[in-house]
Amino acid sequence: MRRSIASQVSTVPFAPSQHRDLAYTMAGSSLSSDASLELVHPGMPTKEAISCSSIGDTSARESQPLPSTPVRTLTQNIVLICTVTLAMIFNTANSSAVVIALPTIGKDLNIPEYRLQWIISAYSLSSGCLLLPLGRIADLYSRKWAFTIGCAFMGIFSLGCGFAQDETTLDVLRGIQGIGAAACIPAALGILAKTFPPSPLRSVAFATFAAGAPVGAAIGSAIGGVLTQLTKQTWRSNFWFLAALAAMCCLGALISVDDDFASDVADRRIDWIGAFIITTGMTFVIFVLSDGSIAPNGWKTGYIIALLIVGIVFLAIFLCWERYLEQLHARDDARPAKWWNPPPLMSVTIWTRARGKLAAMFAIVFLQWCSFNSFNFWFQLYYQDYVGLNPILTMVRVLPMCVTGVVCNLVVAVLVGRVPVVFLIVIGTLLTGVSNLLFAVIDPAAPYWAFGFPAAILSVFGADFVYATGTLYVAKACLPHEQSVGGAVFQTLTQVGTAFGIALTTIVFNATLAKSSLSDGVHVDKSGTNAPRPAQLVAYKDAFWTAAAFGFMGAVMALLVLRSVGVVGERKKAAETGSTTPEEKVRSRHHDVRLFMLELG
């Protein structure tokens, strides 16, 4: 590991779990008197080191000018924020618009009900498995073009889905379409982190981007329901509408995102071995979570058990391999560069950042998406399959989520720079749990306003609060050259959380349905259509109880672990803390590095 040489050297101590990640070297005894501070990350090139010269040494400051950033107009910033938010809306609507059209797709293409979920799972499977490799590629080469190509990929194959004539073609096209989502979402997070320095505008940008998830779910359900029921092409119109959104994202990116081909990372080799290992492991795990409940013998099916074990083993091997590469590049006697020993795809020590609080944030994200998307899944099935409403009437019951999602993110943009993050996350996860709890005790005879309406409003608080504050925290904790990787890990956990939550609640639903039906003397068939209505209601309630537990677990974890994190947003404008005199710039650098050191341990 490279260290600077000076007449007097003192090294900032790190905990054993953290000294391998960052090395801070100070020449001199303090930051205020003839001090030079350098931050070096294993695998980070020399020119990415942060060097702070003495405030009193004017000639040194002038010989090492601060890096300049492109001057952006307000219009460019607004278009950029709208573009990446539209991409998030498109990504989420790609699932919700299809979910509400599943019954119609099944009838049109003669797909059995128990195989319909693969139209959703194929998209989640490919996008969830490739987030990390494609996020790394975006960091190393170009976030702008990773985003643009990803959106174009989604749009082209969305158009193809609209022309599919059979189940297999539709499933394959949906799987390929998910690759585009895996490219554009991590790149979008990296673009926001790079374009907007710590300021109120960064908080607004991340909060608006986070609004795309619940708003996309609501818009997808709303537009999907209308197009499915009222257009001649029914469900095919949904895919063509989504393709138009993708085209708008591509155009917006070309106009508003700065070119970023010139990367400061010297070693741009990709860890293809790690990419293969993590993709294989994630494919097996997400496949098992998606297919376990509909396998011939359910979760007892032989290939389900085998693939789950193999998937977990691959994930463990991936962590070991990445740790090996990380240690290899941190050594002074590192081996010569070969094709098999590039910098790691993901720094394993990213999970130890901020004394493990970043890992806790990732865990809370996982639990929140288990709860939130399980609610979305069973909410729509309850109204369509149990109550018997058509897609448009179901869509109307989802609309409050859209409005609340916008309001929540306005609240986040205002409060994230003033209120400690623990309060926002605890409140949000608790309210998502309560929304599930309302359906766990629902009375079918009661009006929609008694249970459905308040549940729809409360459900989005957790998703909005956790996504906005979580992505801000990831941007704060991750280093500049790994912003998209951090976003990829974040997004991967939302995908895995969704799959895990729906899988577990489906297991609970099926077990309760079989048990309750058997007590009434009915043996439930594979599709569950012959189950008595009272047994169906009990099964729905138990699924919501399970989803509520995920939300409450996230709240408890946040309360226990994130109490000392504080505020993650910014209250002052960049102009107030940024470009003034050279002395103030250097002081700001000293301050930022000291805060970074304290945060990391």
Comparison of pLDDT for 260 and 371, the residue scoring more? 371
Q: Hey, what amino acid is at 224? A: G
DSSP H or E segment with residue 446: none
Question: Residues 153-167: what's their mean pLDDT?
Answer: 95
3-state DSSP assignment of residue 450? coil
> What letter does residue 357 receive in the DSSP assignment?
H
Q: How far out from the chain centre does Cα 315 lie?
A: 19
CATH number of 74-270+345-561: 1.20.1250.20
**Which phi and psi angles does 100 have, rounded to 5°?**
-70, -20
Question: Residues 23-34: what's their mean pLDDT?
Answer: 33
Read off the pLDDT of residues 190-199 as tens digits, 9 standing for 90 and up.
Answer: 999 999 988 8
Greatest extent of the chain over all pairs of C-alpha atoms, in Å: 89
Left (φ > 0), alpha (ψ -120 to 50) or beta: where does 566 sit? left
Residue 522 has pLDDT above 90, yes or no: no
Which pLDDT value is given to residue 599?
Answer: 46
- Look at the block and give the residue holding tokens 């917006």: 252
Residue 473 has pLDDT above 90, yes or no: yes
The neighbouring-strand residues paired with 36 are: 27
Residue 35 has pLDDT above 70, yes or no: no
Left (φ > 0), alpha (ψ -120 to 50) or beta: where does 534 sit? alpha
Which pLDDT value is given to residue 10?
Answer: 33
CB 236 within 8 A of CB 162: yes
Query: Tokens standing for 212?
Result: 């795309």
The per-residue pLDDT of the chain, averaged, comes to 82
CB 150 within 8 A of CB 90: no
Range from 160-169, 212-221, 392-401 that averages highest in pLDDT: 160-169
Any alpha helices (H) in 445-532, and if so which ranges?
452-477, 483-519
**Which phi and psi angles does 245 have, rounded to 5°?**
-60, -40
Question: Residues 87-116: what's their mean pLDDT?
Answer: 88
Residue 72 has pLDDT above 80, yes or no: yes
Any alpha helices (H) in 562-581, and if so which ranges?
574-577
Residue 207 has pLDDT above 80, yes or no: yes
Read off the pLDDT of residues 311-364 as tens digits, 9 standing for 90 and up.
Answer: 999 999 999 999 999 998 888 776 778 888 899 999 898 998 888 999 999 999
Which pLDDT value is given to residue 569?
Answer: 84
Comparison of pLDDT for 336 and 306, the residue scoring more? 306
Comparison of pLDDT for 525 and 53, the residue scoring more? 525
Residue 39 has pLDDT above 90, yes or no: no
- DSSP structure string for 67-123: PP-----HHHHHHHHHHHHHHHHHHHHHHHHHHTTHHHHHHHHT--GGGTTHHHHHH
The neighbouring-strand residues paired with 25 are: 11, 38
Which pLDDT value is given to residue 544?
Answer: 97
SS (H, E, C) 27-62: ECCCCCCCCEEEEECCCCCHHHCEEECCCCCHHHHH
Question: Residues 192-207: what's their mean pLDDT?
Answer: 90
Range from 182-196, 406-420, 506-520 that averages highest in pLDDT: 182-196
- Taking the C-alpha atoms of residue 280 and residue 377, their distance in angstroms, rounded to an integer, is 27
Which pLDDT value is given to residue 527?
Answer: 66
* Contacts (Cβ under 8 Å, ≥6 apart) of 320: none
3-state DSSP assignment of residue 6? coil
Which pLDDT value is given to residue 579?
Answer: 40
Question: Residues 497-510: what's their mean pLDDT?
Answer: 90
b/e 262-284 (16+ beta carbons within 10 angstroms → b)? eeebeeeebbebbbebbbbbbbb
- Taking the C-alpha atoms of residue 68 and residue 466, their distance in angstroms, rounded to an integer, is 32
CB 377 within 8 A of CB 505: yes
* Contacts (Cβ under 8 Å, ≥6 apart) of 476: 198, 568, 599
Rg (the chain; Cα; Å)? 25
Residue 256's pLDDT band (cuts 50, 70, 90): very high
Query: Tokens standing for 218?
Result: 């609501």
